[in-house]
Amino acid sequence: MVTFINGNGKDYNMICKLCLKEKPLIKAHIIPDFLYKNLGLYEADSKGQGRIHVARIQNNRFYYNPKGISDGEYDQNILCSNCDNVVLQAYEDYAKKVLFDGNYKLPEFQHEYIKDSSLGCEYGLFKNVDYTKFKLFLLSIFWRASISARVFSGEVKFGEKINEGIRKMLFDKDPKDPEDFCTILYFLNEPDITLKLMTNFKKIENNNSTRYAFIAGGMIFKFFLNKNDIPENHKPFIFSKSGELKIFNMPKDKIRLTLNDFFEEKLF
Ligand SMILES: [Zn+2]
């Protein structure tokens, strides 16, 4: 293992956590920046420095900093330039097109809004979504949080064995089966609140089931590490190999409850 000396004279080893090669590491975002830049959460201040607004939990209280923080949440100890800017960036570029650009950039892609009386709910249905790219995009976010030592990702820690399993999936472009390490997306259609929110990662335990979540881009992303934790009524919303992505449209009255639950505080 090579030890490099940085500008502060401090020793550090530069092993990229994705390719496992010794390389200089770069500032890698944990939550992809398009999830807030696209929504106007990222604005330049008077000095031209980009700011984003992050809702944080401190001492169990919801804390929203209207001035924002600089340039997102990143970790400079996890990824080399190639793994961040080429390998993972390819998944992010694709996901950005699916979630925000629609068929303007993806001609094969279709989107419709479904009111499903049998499930008793409404959802956005995206068809012909590339299973490998989109699944690995979602997985890469929670993996980055798990391998990062940043406070921001604090409640997402899967352990070395699982981190290594997910690393192989990302590196080998192997998305496995839909229920394996799945992320379900829920649209929080309360723009006055949710479009201003990006949160840190949170571990949520209820009804003997564990999931990991964050809110960004007007959505709550819920990740299930163990497939036995996926509630039956969430299973229709698991991203399928046929490329059908369903984003559950959370009913208005449930959104505020969800936010209060998320922050464990009666905020709204
Ligand atoms: Zn690398």
Per-residue pLDDT of the chain (268 residues; tens, 9 = 90+): 444 445 444 445 589 999 999 999 998 988 887 776 655 444 455 555 444 555 554 444 445 555 555 455 688 899 999 999 999 999 999 998 888 776 556 667 778 888 988 888 899 899 999 999 999 999 999 999 999 987 767 789 999 999 999 999 999 999 999 999 999 999 888 877 776 677 888 888 877 889 999 888 788 999 999 999 999 989 999 999 999 999 999 888 888 888 877 877 776 6
Backbone dihedral angles phi then psi of residue 209, each to the nearest 5 degrees? -130, 140
Structure tokens at 114: 């479904």
- What is the distance in A from the centroid of ligand 1 to the CA of 143? 14
Domain boundaries defined on the chain:
3-263
| Ion ligand 1 nearby residues (CB, 5 A) | 16, 18-19, 80, 83
CA–CA separation, 86 and 79 (whole Å): 11
Which residue type does 253 have?
Answer: D
Q: How crowded is residue 178: how many other Cβ atoms within 10 Å of its Cβ? A: 16
- What is the distance in A from the centroid of ligand 1 to the CA of 239? 27
Contact 87, 139 (CB under 8 A): no
CA–CA separation, 221 and 212 (whole Å): 8
Contact 130, 240 (CB under 8 A): no
- What is the distance in A from the centroid of ligand 1 to the CA of 258? 37
Enter the pTM of the model.
0.84
End-to-end alpha carbon distance in the chain? 51
